[in-house]
């Protein structure tokens, strides 16, 4: 598990850097587009697609970071009232189910990316599959975190 934990730590660091980079790109491109429209009465043709692409990358690469910290959506009202052993069992079961769902998303995203590979984006000449790459990466990264949480859960400190 130590090797997996180290690999996940490296993947988390890379994801954080990618999320910060994508967010910075989005802010710069949108700000430049606003300046161009209001100050110069013009616009960049590619700004909409680049900012949307940066947004998608930022969101889907940030999901595993939330999963790794246990900050994904959950309803704890009932589970917190259960005995600790049952609480841990439910947490492991939910991690397993969510991990399996992420594997389904991972596989489905690969299929969709392959299907849309020949489609091109309008203003920048790249495949439209680039919108599915962060979904593939984020789903795989999330699945690993969830499956590690299933078979080697962290001890709750709350």
**DSSP states of 108-130 as a string?**
HHHHHHHHTTT-B-SSS-SBGGG
Residue 156 forms part of a structural domain: no
Total domain count for the chain? 1
Identify the domain containing residue 18 by its residue range: 2-151
pLDDT computed for residue 74 by the predictor: 66
Banded model confidence at residue 157, pLDDT cuts 50, 70, 90: very low
Residue 142 forms part of a structural domain: yes
Query: What pTM did the predictor assign?
Result: 0.84
Residue 158 forms part of a structural domain: no
Q: Are 56 and 134 within 8 A, CB to CB? A: yes
Residue 148 three-state SS: helix
Query: Within 13 A of 135's CA, how many CA atoms are on the CB side?
Result: 18
pLDDT tens per residue, range 130-150:
999 999 999 999 999 999 988
Residue 157 forms part of a structural domain: no
pLDDT computed for residue 69 by the predictor: 86
């Amino acid at each position: 598990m130590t090797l997996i934990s180290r690999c996940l730590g490296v993947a988390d660091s890379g994801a954080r850097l990618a999320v910060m980079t994508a967010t910075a790109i989005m802010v710069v491109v949108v700000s430049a587009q606003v300046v161009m429209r209001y100050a110069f009465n013009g616009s960049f043709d590619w700004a909409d697609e680049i900012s949307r692409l940066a947004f998608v990358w930022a969101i889907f690469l940030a999901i595993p970071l939330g999963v790794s910290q246990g900050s994904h959506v959950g309803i704890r009202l009932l589970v917190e009232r259960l005995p600790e052993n049952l609480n841990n069992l439910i947490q492991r079961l939910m991690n397993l189910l969510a991990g399996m769902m992420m594997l389904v998303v991972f596989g489905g995203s690969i299929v969709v990316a392959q299907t849309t590979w020949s489609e091109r984006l309008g203003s920048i000449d790249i495949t439209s599959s680039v919108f599915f790459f962060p979904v593939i990466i984020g789903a795989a990264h999330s699945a690993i975190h969830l499956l590690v949480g299933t078979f080697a859960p962290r001890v709750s400190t709350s």
